[in-house]
Structures are given as structure tokens and as C-alpha cells.
A and B are shown apart, each in its own frame.
Chain A
């Protein structure tokens, strides 16, 4: 069995330790220098912080259908570079991941690529049409073991369909991950509705369009006693609603994207579509409420909503551009800037929101374990002392639509270990097969 020794890493930023990995498991955690390195590959992790491998609840890998934007191979490689050992592949592909066949295909492509675990998210309704429930049971029972279902990109706005889906997934411990966007209130919407949208002449996207759906869905979830996950929460009001729902014991979880923790609608002043995203960037007040919600646990997870688009969908006028931003390779740095450097979250907190809780929400068995003997060896090693400049052309994603172009961000993923094997060493991907 192959042996790997990660020497001198500070687990969750505590005292340095040696982590010994045999096969795909952590077998020993001890004092620095205590590990037997004979016959082992040694990764010098002195001064680095060791975290459980990150789990992303919200990734658009675009395959099948839009391989010009991303593939499972390129997307999961980007994920590994960002410190992820598991990603949830969203269902809005072409064809839509609404059958066991498509989700198994994506799952298999993920296995073949080998950069991280790929957990497909199944569509709630056939073709994301919002009208007929997809074969959720078949997807759950497939090799892909789907537990999260989402029409992401579109809202399951029909209250009856939403109710039925919430009820139906109880049979296999699933959850509905809702893209909360009231469609009529957001027809043609381009950016957060506020003073700025009025000034810029861009059709507004009111906070209430998100909050109204969340309010309805938490009540439905309570009524049918099921499990709801709210995708990319973006407003202060949404945080309030989720906080209230949790206080009532409703089984709801929520995620926030890195960009909603850092960027505001002011960026739309440039009319640069790299800042066009769904849900839209909101106000400073919203950003602060989201940070607070993530810090106090109201929001459970950071999820990237990594949304690659080819350059022609961004190098155009705002209203013609596609919604979405890259996120996998910058997620940790943005979390450090917005949450760690602001004192809102410690490293145990980062591990909890980027690994432990998302794994639990996705019902991913072998992810999100703390770095203890017997746990699967998914380890992300972070250097928090460095900063780096984001250069779109240097990203591993097939697309270039990062909103952080030329921005200096703190902290970098140095090494990523997936299933006991290094996928990233010194910030570069290692071929794993």
C-alpha cells in the first residue's frame, strides 16, 4: 500500500503535526518528526494549514453539451487546484441531467478524470421545464447516488411541483436545492434593483424575488416535513428568513457564493458583463449580512456556483451577456479575504463551511471528515501567508470569466490530496493515473 507523509502541517491552524496516509485513509496523526518516512512519499507542509478537502455544492461542469465552456476534466482539474476533493455537478447541461443515464455519464466522467469526486445533481423537473417531475428515484438509485436535486438556473416556481418534489425525495433522504427566483418579478432583469439599476438603466432584480420564494419554500418544507437547501443566498432578507426558519426547527440549509461575500452591485457601473451573475451582486449591506450569516452558521456552506462561459458570451454588451462567474480556483482566497482576514471565521470554521457541512448536505459519505486516523485522506494544504494576482489566462478552467481579473487575493492552495493521492503539488496539478 502506498504511503504518504504530510509533515509539519497545522491541522485547522493548530499545532504542527505529521499526517500519515496509507492507501486512501489517514492512519496516523502525530507530533512533527514522529512519522516513519521510510518508503513513503513525503510532502513538506511546514507552515501550511491542513484542512479537510473542500466540497462544492454548486458547480457547473457544462458537460455534456457545452464542452466549449468547460468539461468534467477541465472543471475538476480547476477544482483540485482550488483545494476541492468533491464537486456537485449541476443539472443544467444539454441534455439536462434529468435521467439516470445522464447523471451516471457525468459521474463516470468524473471518475475517469480522477481529480476529485463528482456528485451529479439531478434535475427536479424534466428538461428544467418546471412542469413534470423527473425520475428522481431512478437517479437516486443509480450509480451516481444522487441526493440533491435542483433545476438551478431556473426556479421551481410552481408551488405544487415544489411541494411534490419535497415530499417525493423523502423516500431516499434527498433534498431539493432551490434556485430562488420568482420568474415574473425578474423578467429581463439584469442587476440588483436599487438606486444603481435606476441610474444605469438596467432592469432591476428585486431582493423580494428571491426572498418570496425562500419564504414560501421554508413553509412548504415545514408543512411536508422534508429537507430544503437554498442555493446562492444573496440578500440580507434571505438570511433573516433562513435564520427564522432554522429557529422554528425547519430542515433548511443554505449556501452562499464567494462572490456574494466580496463583490457588490457597484461593479455594474463598468457595464462589464464579467460582473453579471445570477443572482446579481447586491449591496454592501447584503454582503455584510451574508458574512454574518455564514459566520453564525445560518448559512451552512460556501458554494462556488462556478459558471464557465466562453469569451463571446462575456465580451459583449451587458444585456446580451450570459450570467455567471468562475469560482473554483479563487473560492478559498475570497473566503480568506472576506471571512478569515475580517475575523469572522477561524480555520475550523472554514473547514466546517467548505467541507464538513457541504458534505453532510450532499450526503457525501467519504468527504468532509476531520483529519483524524481512520478518515478518508482528502486533505487541502493552504499557505495563508502568500498573496497572488488573478490572471484569467493562467486559470485551469476552459473559460476565462473570472470577476477577479488582476485582483490581488490572499492565500493559496499549495497541495491537494484526494483519496490519498496528491492531485496538486506546489500549486500545480499532478497526473494521478
Chain B
């Protein structure tokens, strides 16, 4: 594994399997009387959130605490400096506090890359969602959930058909999932109106369809992306009604799924928009399990990035080797 987790594309198949296998072991900790491991005792994990995301922050916080790390929550949203320098100054502050890992959520694509590569901080950087770029731990937890449900909880996702539906253009979840799931051998199909697909999507390692109905019956999993209503005002689609009719998952479409196929959603859901309440609450829905798996996967990532050599040690040793 690299020192940082910035993009799902950074993970090789072996890296990804290592995370998933480790997460599978760590998932057991949740069932124990003492839900805690001493592994990261004395390490400091900073949750640096420039955007509100209570669920992601809580998930990382639970993961870090179960590994006995010290957790500092740093919400930079609405702070006095709203642009630019604040990222650098914040980074320097965290460095002074001795952060071993910084979990960063930022509204600007690439902000975690900047933190990791600017020389402002020495610790590991974990991307917890950046702009419309990526959200690699979400993809890992989705892959984990898919593997549990469709592949007996081990190995890769070879041949599994995963359909991702909705606002791909603005979705960091979609980008990370396409990269990771294809690395793990899954057949990914993106479904969206042409306005909500990025330029160049034809070069991505997946198929693309403008119609949902032909894709549903052959899907092992259907992942619905959140669609924000402001996309309507920006003329990405005409009305919420038309969107739901063409791209929403309702009972009728769900009935076209095979018996063992599942329905996923990264949350938060717009019930009635991209998914009906019936579908969200149905037995096919694994949305609650996705949340639980999020903690295990994030524990695995924290352990694999921080559990071994500390970055400072690794660098010191490299210096020795190089001299």
C-alpha cells in the first residue's frame, strides 16, 4: 500500500484484497464485549472536515477509536478563513500537533492530493471525499458489502454485474467505485442521462447506458446515487418527476431484479427521487449494512496505513539506505 489513500485507482488488486480481507477480520471486533484493539495506541488521527458529513466523520472516528488511536475532530467549515491559505495553515497546525494521519473531506477536488504532496505535513492522508473527484473508502465499503453478499465474503468480484445509476458527473462515489470494482474484476455499468455523464466516460473501465430498464434484469447489484435537486435548476434534467420515471428505482423496476440481487445506496438518500421508500426498506436493500461495513473497512485502512512503520521511520530508513 502507498503511504496515502487518495484515489481508489491507487489500489492494486492485491492492495484492495488486503484491505477487504483485513476488514473481514476486523469486523469481528464489533461483536466482542470489548470493541477495541490496542493497535494504534499513541497514534493521532485527525478528522479534517471542510464539508459537513456527519456519517463519514463518525465512521472514521469509530474506526480510529476501535484501534485505540487518539482522535481529533477538526471542522474547518465556516471558519474565518474560507479559502486558500486556510488549507495550508490548517495543515501546518496539524503537523505541529503531530498528526500521524489526516482524514480529509473537502469540497474542492484534489485537496487531499495537495495535502499529501505539498510538503506541509508528514503523516498519511486519507481522502474522505474530495469535491467531485473521489471517495475511496466508500468504494471499499461498497466492495466489501458486494463481496459479502455476492461472493461469499472472499476473493474478488470477478464477473459480478454492478449497475451504478444517477448523477455520475458530480459523484465522487461513482468515480471511486468504477476504479475499484473494475480492479476487482466486476462488470460495472453506469446509467445516467447524457447530461450527467462526464466527458470521456467512454474511456472509463465500464459500460455506459442511457436507459435503466434494459440493464436491471441482468444486474447482481444496483447502486443508486443521490441526485440533488439543484441539478434540475441547472437544466441537467427537466423535472424531478421525469428523472424518477426514467432513472429512479421503484418497486416495478426492483421486481425485474434477479432473486439474489441487491440494492445499494451510499446515502444520504432522497427518498422519492432516485429511490422509493419501499425499495430502500426492502429485504434487498443493504444500505444499513453498508454503514456497518464502513467502520470495518476504515479500520482496515487505518491499520494498514498506520499499523506498520511510521512514515517518519520509513523515511529515516530510506535516508540510511540511500547514503
Contact = CB atoms under 8 A, between A and B. Distances in A.
Q: Please determine if A and B sit in direct contact within the complex, based on CB atoms under 8 angstroms apart.
A: yes
B199 interface: yes
A317 interface: yes
B149 interface: no
B213 to A, nearest CB: 26
Contacts of A321: 84
A321 B114 CA distance: 12
Given A198-B198, A319-B131, A312 B84 contact: yes
Nearest to A314: B84
A316 B87 CA distance: 6
Given A201-B131, A320-B83, A195 B199 contact: yes
Contact of B108 (A204, A313, A318): A318
A195 B53 CA distance: 29
Contacts of B199: 193-195, 197-198, 204, 206
A82 to B, nearest CB: 28
Contacts of B107: 319
A244 interface: no
A202 B110 contact: yes
B14 interface: no
Contact of A201 (B118, B172, B204): B172
A270 B200 contact: no
Question: Chain B contact residues (Cβ within 8 angstroms of A): what range?
Answer: 20 to 34
Contact of B84 (A193, A199, A202, A313): A313
A287 B88 CA distance: 33
Nearest to B120: A315
B201 interface: yes
A270 B84 contact: no
Interface string A374-399: 00000000000000000000000000
B133 A200 contact: yes
Contacts of B204: 198-199
Nearest to B169: A198
A315 B85 contact: yes
A318 B110 contact: yes
A196 to B, nearest CB: 7
A201 B88 contact: no
A317 B108 contact: yes
Interface in A279-324: 312-313, 315-321
B113 interface: yes
Given A201-B132, A316-B85, 20 more contacts: A195-B200, A198-B201, A198-B204, A199-B198, A199-B200, A200-B133, A201-B110, A201-B131, A201-B175, A202-B109, A202-B131, A204-B198, A206-B199, A270-B117, A315-B84, A315-B85, A316-B86, A318-B108, A320-B84, A320-B87
16 contacts: A197-B199, A198-B199, A200-B110, A201-B109, A201-B110, A201-B172, A271-B111, A271-B117, A312-B88, A315-B85, A315-B88, A316-B83, A316-B84, A319-B108, A319-B131, A320-B83
